[in-house]
Structure 1
Amino acid sequence: MLRIFSVAYWAFIGVSCVVFFAGAVLVWLVTLPFDRRRVVLHLYSSAWASFYVYVNPLWRLRVTGRDRAPRHGAAVLVANHASLIDILVLFALFRPFKWVSKQEIFQVPLIGWNMRLNDYVPLVRGSADSVRRMMDHCDRLLAAGSPVMIFPEGRRTSDGELLPFKDGAFELAVRHQVPVVPIAVHGTRRALPRHGLVLRDHVDVHVEVLPPIDPGDDTQALRESARTSIASALTRP
């Protein structure tokens, strides 16, 4: 039954994305003259993504600490990454951040096109040139007052263990002197494993926004402080 439901669910997403993308284009056109940071479009995209979470009867989502994620002003948001649906549930924060995401997602019809409309940040894993372009893009966004959302592990964990964090997110925070906001995402690996698209049985997902960390001037210390905060949160039920 789960296989049948999974096929129906992904098919529903594929078909409904056409309607949602048409709405995104309309929002983009209407707000472009006065919304240079595309906040309204991002909030529309947040509703689009969250819709797929809340209509799925197998998933129950709880968000705590949302007020710690900034509504205004630049910040670097960092979250652990265990599943494809991390992206959907983090959109449910409804905060005006810009995603840093792998280049392949930008090539997906409709969803990837919407990411470009939002001015999200593409990254080719393993490419030094792409990393430089990503950092430059994030520099521009942070300077304009937009928070950025980064998975500092760089890829999804295969066994549920938190991977080492890369420096990029924390270099940005130190350079711009903006807070790092750690976010612990619980339960998504059980909802959808790294390999395969067959949904699991009922799962409670919890997005926990943790206390912001002052950037200071030590990238490595900031990186380890953020990782420790998320690792500690993930050990709690």
Structure 2
Amino acid sequence: MLKRLVSAWVWISTGLIALIWLPWMGLVWLFTARDPGRYSVGRWFRLAAVTVTRLNPFWKFRTTGVQIHDPRRPYVAVANHESLADIFLLSHLPWEMKWMSKDTIFRIPVMGWMMRMAGDVMVIRGDAGSRMRALEEARDRLRKRVSVMIMPEGTRSGGGELLKFHDGAFRLAIETGSPVLPIALAGTRHAIAKGSWLVGRARAIARVLPPVETAGMTLDDVPALREKVRTMIAEARTVLQRELAAAGA
């Protein structure tokens, strides 16, 4: 019963925050029109997710790892995907990234409108033309000196194992000369189970790993870059899982 009550509170408060945030984001969008990267309006959007997390008594999220000293240096950030709650955890990172998200999220009233104002990138799963358009939009964000966030697994696994990484993020990084920023996530799988609306108790960590430079690489290097980054994330994720287990999470 407590889990259902807390879950209802979380989703109701999420909706209320979205309604409160929408007009404010509209004003920020209007008054920062000179920044084509929409950095400020995107940052305010992520802060809405941080506020939702702070109102949730079941979640304890934190970030660790490499510090990014120049938030306007564009990276292709990649992270493993454990749960819908990954969005809330990654929003705690203190710089803006434009998310590549599936079209069903963009269709959510209010949420989708804010994502469009923030400059996030929509992709239709299974549509090759949409993937190409999404990658071109991601190039546009990088040119405007804003990082992009891509989850190269493409979906969450049912059993929690790390899935195969797809090539898109790594091709994008090499083609634009952008460094890849690996981020390992652990703990969010218990926050919102796949296929469920119920919110669970969870401690979760996002650890930012050292950037991987792509200068001098060609598209022939995509497989090696992809596997290097996947190995970095897999190893860091294992460490984080041990830390959470030791803390009793």
Q: Secondary structure at the match of 1:60?
A: strand
Task: Note if contact 2:152-2:165 (Cα within 8 Å) is conserved in structure 1.
Answer: yes
In structure 1, the residue matched to 2:88 is 88
Q: Distance in 2 between matches of 1:173 and 1:18?
A: 35
**TM-score using structure 2 length:** 0.91
Q: What is the Cα deviation at residue 69 of structure 1?
A: 7.7
What letter corresponds to residue 10 of structure 1 in structure 2?
W
Segments of 5+ residues of structure 1 without an aligned counterpart are none
What letter corresponds to residue 153 of structure 1 in structure 2?
E
In structure 2, the residue matched to 1:103 is 103
Q: Distance in 2 between matches of 1:97 and 1:4?
A: 33
Moved over 4 A (4+): none
Segments of 5+ residues of structure 2 without an aligned counterpart are 243-249
Q: Distance in 2 between matches of 1:46 and 1:128?
A: 28
Q: Distance in 2 between matches of 1:235 and 1:89?
A: 18
Q: What is the Cα deviation at residue 143 of structure 1?
A: 2.0
Q: Secondary structure at the match of 1:67?
A: coil
In structure 2, the residue matched to 1:157 is 157
In structure 1, the residue matched to 2:138 is 138
Q: Which moved more, 1:134-143 or 1:172-181?
A: 134-143
Q: Distance in 1 between matches of 2:90 and 2:99?
A: 10
Task: Note if contact 1:69-1:95 (Cα within 8 Å) is conserved in structure 2.
Answer: no
- Once the two structures are superposed, residues 191-231 of structure 1 have per-residue CA deviations (whole angstroms, 9 ceiling, x without a partner) of 11111011113x21101001111223311111001100000
Task: Note if contact 1:42-1:96 (Cα within 8 Å) is conserved in structure 2.
Answer: yes
Q: What is the Cα deviation at residue 108 of structure 1?
A: 0.6
Q: What is the Cα deviation at residue 61 of structure 1?
A: 1.1
Alignment of 1:15-164 (within 5 A): 15-32=16-33, 34-65=34-65, 67-68=67-68, 71-164=71-164
* C-alpha spacing 1:187/1:90, structure 2 compared with 1 (3 Å): same
* C-alpha spacing 1:196/1:70, structure 2 compared with 1 (3 Å): farther
In structure 2, the residue matched to 1:226 is 229
Q: Distance in 2 between matches of 1:44 and 1:200?
A: 26
- Once the two structures are superposed, residues 57-114 of structure 1 have per-residue CA deviations (whole angstroms, 9 ceiling, x without a partner) of 1111111025148512221000011100101111111312111000111111111101
Alignment identity in percent? 38
- Once the two structures are superposed, residues 107-141 of structure 1 have per-residue CA deviations (whole angstroms, 9 ceiling, x without a partner) of 11111101111111100011011011011111222
